[in-house]
Structure 1
Amino acid sequence: MFARPVAALATTALGFSALFLPGSAAGTEDATARHRDPVVIAHRGASAYAPENTLAAIDLAARMGFAWVENDVQRTRDGELVVVHDDSLARTTDVEERFPGRAPWKVKDFTAAEIATLDAGSWRGPEWAWARVPTLKEYLNRVDANGQKLLLEIKKPVLYPGIEQDTLRVLGEEGWLDRAHVGHRLVVQSFGADSIKAVHALRPDITTGFLGTPAVADLPAFAAFTDQINPSHTSLSAEYVAAVHALKGPHGRPLRMNTWTVDDAEGAVRVAGFGVDGIITNNPDVVRDAMGRAPGAAGVSVAGRTVVP
């Protein structure tokens, strides 16, 4: 149903980005208003409704009107970058049935061709049986076709030495390192500080984010190489958000903050009150409703139910 990009998705997604992206030219008028309406980022796509990190999930996020999507990047045995969260394929594919003798089914132990044969959707329901684990190239092309923007996470970089260079190479090959993408449509983040330092050293023009909650005393050191501090919502306070915003990052702009993973209205209102810049969520519609739904939005049919953007 969502295997192909839908016509006019770019218009829809970019239209909603003007409503919800802090600092956009067509966005809110002042900093206070921007903090009331943090950007809503679809975690692994619209993953509450479609199989996470699949093309279906980002297509659905676009249909629901969300410009920003988040993903996870890892590397196969033969060097291909693929979009999958766990370092094992067992939870989100049928790898145990397809390759029963290869436990623990690590991404790094399979070739890209082998991973391409796996069913990455049936775990969410039989209607998603056609979904596959996309390569990063396929994922970038679909995000581009949908007119979306990408918060790209380099996952578990200690397992994949050199994955930063590989990621930048693929981004360049697929046209994502031009001024338009780097300036407005791409953030690279990781839990690995050394990984983000490497990305910043190789391409200092790219916006980067560190996933975690560094001590306030350590924030100036992080501000030397990252533009965002992106912590779990459970670790936040208004004072911590203010401490992050008080510092300038490597591009001379105040540090920003996207918090994860907020899936309920109460949590969304709480972190928005702290002044976060973005909310990463599996339920982007729920979070957007909590922030104030755009008037006149039409429902999107998902697996027999209507989701209101």
Structure 2
Amino acid sequence: MYARPAAAAAAAILGFGALIILPATTTQAAPAAPATKGSGPARTVAHDRPTVVAHRGASAQAPENTLAAVDKAHALGFTWVENDVQRTKDGKLVVVHDDTLARTTDVEQRYPDRAPWNVKDFTAAEIAGLDAGGWFSPAYEGARIPTLKQYLQRITHNRQNLLLELKSPDLYPGIEKETLRELRNDGWLDRRHVDGRLIIQSFSAPSVREVHAQRPDVKTGFLGTPSVAQLPEYAKFTDQINPSHTGLDQAYVSAVHSLKGPHDKPLELFTWTVDDKDTSVRLAGLGVDGIISNNPSVVRDALGGRD
């Protein structure tokens, strides 16, 4: 969930301006009643300490964004997992973080003449044949990049919840509609899931706004740090403001919590990526609603209790 060097700044600084030029009309991905005041998803945080989210699964213990990482998070007792969704050359949705396949697969060995090995330049079948675990540990050699459908089936089996990130949506026009369609087809847009098991987020403010326009009942999150002056505009279409923990202070957390989002509930704040005890304790003291971690057990142990 890290932004590319210029992407995080652009999302925070330009996102507000980009909202103004979005088209007023959108195509519905699935029927949905318009959101009304007081309706919509429940607050994610139902206790007095932050929700702990396993970032790309339990990615400190298993290769990120694989089913093995999801299962490891489940085995450790974590209900919430985060993932990243992109689109293949032939239009399939897959769960992978980087725009390129080079870091987390053996694509360079399998296809040496196809640099820079971008996700969007490979078919789903080609991606399915890559080893997405050997880079992490020999024990995970042969792990695969899952399709979004496979991923949803696994977390459904594990009874886990999903913080889904639309990764680099500018590379994949229409991915909001396609992701919502896949979620609907796999039962993830029914009332039970929408009310407390699903959040869709992105570094792209226009993408988050598009998700809200197509399915106003779905809970959304913006990845970035809009200025305090911009927060009221973001609160029209997002339920969460999810910044990096770096530089986060009490004044900003309080400013987020002072506003209500599109479902007339206080805005939440999930922060990332936190892997140490001291930072976890500091952020909990600020009153953040969620902490996203590669090593969620460290965060849970620092805060006490189970998730």
TM-score, normalization by structure 2: 0.85
**Which residue of 40, 45, 54 maps to 1:42?**
54
Find the counterpart in structure 2 of residue 22 from structure 1.
45
Secondary structure of 1:243's counterpart equals: helix
**Which residue of 70, 83, 105 maps to 2:82?**
70
2:99 is matched by which residue type in structure 1? D
Find the counterpart in structure 2 of residue 256 from structure 1.
268
Q: Does 1:127 align with 2:166?
A: no
Secondary structure of 1:130's counterpart equals: coil
1:1-309 correspondence to structure 2 within 5 Å: 22-23=45-46, 28=47, 34=48, 37-294=49-306
What is the rounded CA distance, in whole Å, between the counterparts of 1:159 and 1:68 in structure 2? 27
Residue 235 of structure 1 and its aligned partner are, at CA, apart by 3.0
Count of aligned residue pairs for this structure pair: 264
What is the rounded CA distance, in whole Å, between the counterparts of 1:211 and 1:109 in structure 2? 26
What is the rounded CA distance, in whole Å, between the counterparts of 1:98 and 1:293 in structure 2? 45
Residue 22 of structure 1 and its aligned partner are, at CA, apart by 1.9
Instruction: Tell me the alpha carbon deviations over residues 133-189 of structure 1, each in whole angstroms, 9 at most, x when there is no partner.
Output: 000000001011000000000000000000000100100111100000111100000
Instruction: Tell me the alpha carbon deviations over residues 38-69 of structure 1, each in whole angstroms, 9 at most, x when there is no partner.
Output: 00000000000000000000001001000000
What is the rounded CA distance, in whole Å, between the counterparts of 1:114 and 1:132 in structure 2? 11
Find the counterpart in structure 2 of residue 306 from structure 1.
none
Instruction: Tell me the alpha carbon deviations over residues 2-40 of structure 1, each in whole angstroms, 9 at most, x when there is no partner.
Output: xxxxxxxxxxxxxxxxxxx622xxxx3xxxxx2xx1000
Structure 1 unmatched ranges of 5 or more:
1-20, 29-33, 295-308
What is the rounded CA distance, in whole Å, between the counterparts of 2:69 and 2:146 in structure 1? 11
Secondary structure of 1:124's counterpart equals: coil
Find the counterpart in structure 2 of residue 17 from structure 1.
none
Q: Is the 8 A contact 1:213 1:235 kept in 2?
A: no
Residue 130 of structure 1 and its aligned partner are, at CA, apart by 2.0
What is the rounded CA distance, in whole Å, between the counterparts of 1:140 and 1:130 in structure 2? 20
Poorly superposed stretches of 4+, deviation over 6 Å: none
What is the rounded CA distance, in whole Å, between the counterparts of 1:270 and 1:121 in structure 2? 33
1:171 is matched by which residue type in structure 2? L
2:57 is matched by which residue type in structure 1? G
Instruction: Tell me the alpha carbon deviations over residues 245-288 of structure 1, each in whole angstroms, 9 at most, x when there is no partner.
Output: 00000000000010000010011001111100000000100000
- Provide the aligned C-alpha RMSD in A: 0.9
What is the rounded CA distance, in whole Å, between the counterparts of 1:184 and 1:292 in structure 2? 23
What is the rounded CA distance, in whole Å, between the counterparts of 2:198 and 2:211 in structure 1? 13
Secondary structure of 2:246's counterpart equals: helix
Structure 2 unmatched ranges of 5 or more:
1-43
